[in-house]
Chain A
């Protein structure tokens, strides 16, 4: 079965580049130049993944993300320029799955799409409960975290935080989402909680906490648990 990608991008060159690069990889590519065209296409035949550029002529995309989220679980990857930080975070909080910063390489784009699609599959099936990468093994059901077979002792909050990242392994989770899911709605501005607990988690999980392999920082946006 061919997977379908909807590319929403107003710049002709980049749109053409994405279309050809994705077609070569065997995707069926639909393109839209505006949000209105994208939502028309979505109503007609929903794709398997959306690549959504920020700064489209007819809006900021939040509406589209909400619309998609209300009906589909299909992944959305936001493409943004460096100066669109705030807007990008807004979209991630609204339910977009991941982001790419311009300029990006085709390799990065394909990697993000692969991660997003893997999650879509698992989201429909059973939720992720086991995460394994290198010598790290996290089993959410068994409440166990092992490094090289050795049991790591986490506090309840540390475990909750790690579990939230495991459920979105490979994808970015914004500060706001983490604070909301781990501490609750009244703590969404307490980013320093994250700084302190992530430091603790890294100290326990990482071999070199200063250059983490697993708990990656997306500067100014959130965190990502490495999946590859």
Chain B
């Protein structure tokens, strides 16, 4: 809104007198030029024309002075006896009087027309400003933006100085540091009364400014101070009120949206928590049942069972217990990652090392060496939490080992400023309907009762996201799944200073 101030325009007084002088000079010059060809009546008409123009354009004082001067000039230059102020004929007095009255009447009428035109223009500009402000406010997402727009609108609409302050959390006004104490008082008072104060409002008419609350009683979200304030300028006050109403509406909209979102996310969180707990207890109960079963069988039937059978039960206890420990670990990490913002312990890490360490651990469960790894040399370093990344890769490999029979390909590559780690298997794959939900905390690929690392994939995705990366599932042609972790790479790699010793 860059229009000039929308208040009533003011004309410089000197300009009026210059116009009067120019008009009279022009009329006199014209009359002299036509002196030989026309009668005195026509010359008088030329002066009348000048007076009409002056009365239309200028104030009544200037028009009256112009009329008197025109009559005087006509009298002096053209009315016989010429070059004197004497009036020869009574008739000319009437002409002079008429001209004076004419000038005043036209001036009065013109002034009325002018005022109305100006008012119409002003109203139009104000209406346009309100419209523009409403449009701007509909795209705004923060109280600070609303405040900025409000400041701009008030400064554009009024000569000022205007000020605006919003409440903080619905309580105290947050004033600009350099705001006058009197203005602060006025703003607080209009907020308390939830009414406009100042000249023409019937409340505190002695004030030098209007104080307007933003919003209605009970929902006041701020206050504005507008200057100059004239008791008679009702349209100006109404415009200020309209601007404030728009601002209040926008603030209210923001507040309602925020509280709606908060309520929604709280409901979602509770829903998530209960399904999450249900999923966890399911995941914990299954291995616990197996452990208790095997251990109690050993306790009560040891003598009846042969040595190979005892070994099988013991092996089952150990593997179930280690599965239990994985589930617990995943759960803990997931809760930490998705809960309160936990700072990652990030450092420059080598994916080659992380993959190597994970493989060393996972190979214990991969006696047939089904995992084929393909990790190129000279990979760029990533700024990451190595423990979390190791857990991610290890979860993906565990899943692949558990759900598929054939070879599993683990490969690392660099593509377009991203480090990609992909784990491909030739298992049954994941049905399309479930592909979207397998990363949710409470779902699992198989609903058949077969177990899996229920939270494993949810944790994997949480870890990827915490590193600013992505974890995606791509179905493979010919069956199987391909999980791809993409981590953003820093363009600025460390260790440039080591170049002399490194190839």
Given the complex, which residues of A lie within 8 Å of B321, measured CB to CB? 103
> Does A122 belong to the interface (CB within 8 Å)?
no
Inside 8 A of A193's CB, which chain B residues have their CB? 495, 498
Asked whether any CB of chain B lies closer than 8 Å to the CB of A117, the reply is no
By a CB distance below 8 angstroms, the chain B residues around A103 are: 321-322, 325
> How many residues of chain B are within 8 Å of chain A by beta carbon?
37
B360 adjacent to A211 (CB under 8 Å): yes
Quick check: which of B86-94, B207-215, B246-254, B343-351 contacts chain A, the rest being far away? B343-351
With both chains docked as a complex, state the minimum distance between the C-beta of B26 and any C-beta of chain A, in angstroms: 87
A85 at the interface (CB under 8 A from B): yes
Residues of A within 8 A of B303 (CB): none
Q: Are A85 and B387 in contact (CB under 8 A)?
A: yes
User: Is B501 touching A155 in the complex (CB atoms < 8 A)?
Assistant: yes
Does A23 touch B at the CB level, under 8 Å?
A: no
In the assembled complex, the Cα of A220 lies from the Cα of B348 at a distance in Å of 11
Distance from A190 Cβ to chain B, minimum over Cβ atoms (Å): 8
Interface hit among B39-47, B101-109, B373-381 = B373-381
- Kindly state whether residue B134 has any CB partner on chain A within 8 Å: no
Interface string of A201-228 (1 = CB under 8 A from B): 0110000011110001111100000000
The reply to whether A211 and B356 form a contact with Cβ atoms under 8 Å apart is yes
Tell me, yes or no, whether A12 is within 8 Å of chain B by CB.
no
B502:A196 contact, CB within 8 angstroms = yes
User: Is B332 positioned at the interface, with any CB of A under 8 Å from its CB?
Assistant: yes
Chain B minimum-CB-distance residue to A155: B501
Bound Cα distance A203, B348 (Å): 19
B390 interface residue (CB < 8 Å to A): yes
Contact check, A196 vs B387: say whether CB atoms are below 8 A apart: no
Q: Are B325 and A217 touching (Cβ within 8 A)?
A: no
Complex Cα distance, B325 from A203, in Å, reads 34
Q: Is A200 an interface residue (CB 8 A)?
A: yes
What is the bound-complex CA distance between A48 and B55, given in angstroms?
116
Chain B 309-362 interface residues, beta-carbon cutoff 8 Å to A: 318, 321-322, 325, 329, 332, 345, 347-350, 352-360
Answer yes or no: A195 CB below 8 A from chain B CBs: yes
Find out whether the CB atom of A200 lies under 8 angstroms from the CB atom of B350.
no
* CB pair B373 A195 closer than 8 Å: no
Residue in contact with B494 in the complex, picked from A192, A197, A212, A220, CB distance below 8 Å:
A192
Known: A103-B325, A210-B356, A218-B357. A195 touches B375 (CB 8 A): no
Interface of B, helix, strand, loop or mixed by DSSP: helix
- With a CB–CB cut-off of 8 A, which chain B residues contact A155? 501
Assembly CA distance A200 to B499 (angstroms):
12
Q: Which residues of A contact B186 (CB under 8 A)?
A: none
Chain A residues within 8 Å of B358, by CB = 219
Q: Are B386 and A199 in touch, CB under 8 angstroms? A: no
- With a cutoff of 8 Å between Cβ atoms, the chain B residues found around residue A219 in the complex are 353-354, 357-358, 386-387, 390
Known: A191-B347, A192-B381, A192-B494. A200 touches B357 (CB 8 A): no
* Min CB–CB distance A36 → chain B (angstroms): 30
Among B322, B349, B373, max chain A CB count under 10 A is at B349
- Which residues of chain B are within 8 angstroms of A157 by Cβ–Cβ distance? 501
Give chain B residues whose Cβ lies under 8 Å from the Cβ of A191. 347-348
Question: CA of A210 to CA of B358 in the docked complex: distance in angstroms?
Answer: 10
Q: Are A203 and B356 in contact (CB-based, < 8 A)?
A: no
CA distance in complex: A105, B356 (Å): 22
Shortest CB–CB separation between residue B287 and chain A, in angstroms? 13
The contact string, 1 if C-beta is below 8 Å from chain A, for chain B 361-378, is 001000000000111011
Q: Which of B345, B349, B355, B501 contacts A195 (CB 8 A)?
A: B349
B420 shortest CB reach to chain A, Å: 15
Q: For chain B, residues 374 to 401, give those with C-beta under 8 angstroms from any C-beta of chain A.
A: 374-375, 377-378, 381, 385-387, 390
**A85-B387, A193-B495, A211-B360 known; A217-B322 Cβ under 8 A:** no
Task: Indicate whether A199 sits within 8 Å of B350 (C-beta atoms), given known contacts A82-B329, A209-B377.
Answer: yes
Interface string of A70-86 (1 = CB under 8 A from B): 00000000000011011
Task: Give Cα A91 to B149, complex, Å.
Answer: 57
Which one of B354, B360, B363, B375 lies within 8 Å of A216 (CB-CB)?
Answer: B360
Contacts of A182 in B (CB 8 A): none
Nearest residue (CB) in B for A83 is B332
Does A173 belong to the interface (CB within 8 Å)? no
By a CB distance below 8 angstroms, the chain A residues around B503 are 200
Q: Are B390 and A198 in contact (CB under 8 A)?
A: no
Q: Which residues of A contact B352 (CB under 8 A)?
A: 199, 202, 209-210
Pair B381/A195 contact, Cβ less than 8 Å: yes
Assembly CA distance A210 to B357 (angstroms): 9
Q: Is the CB of B387 within 8 A of A211?
A: no
Contact B381 A210 (CB under 8 A): no
Chain B residues, Cβ within 8 Å of A203: 377
13 examples of A-B residue contacts, CB within 8 angstroms: A82-B332, A83-B332, A85-B387, A86-B345, A192-B494, A193-B495, A196-B502, A197-B498, A203-B377, A210-B355, A210-B373, A211-B373, A217-B356
Given A195-B348, A209-B356, A216-B360, 6 more pairs with CB closer than 8 A: A85-B387, A192-B347, A195-B349, A195-B381, A197-B498, A210-B374
Residues of A within 8 A of B (CB): 82-83, 85-86, 103, 105, 155, 157, 191-193, 195-200, 202-203, 209-212, 216-220
Interface residue ranges, B against A (CB under 8 Å): 318, 321-322, 325, 329, 332, 345, 347-350, 352-360, 363, 373-375, 377-378, 381, 385-387, 390, 494-495, 498, 501-503
Closest 4 pairs between A and B when the two form their complex, measured CB to CB: A192-B348, A210-B375, A192-B494, A217-B357
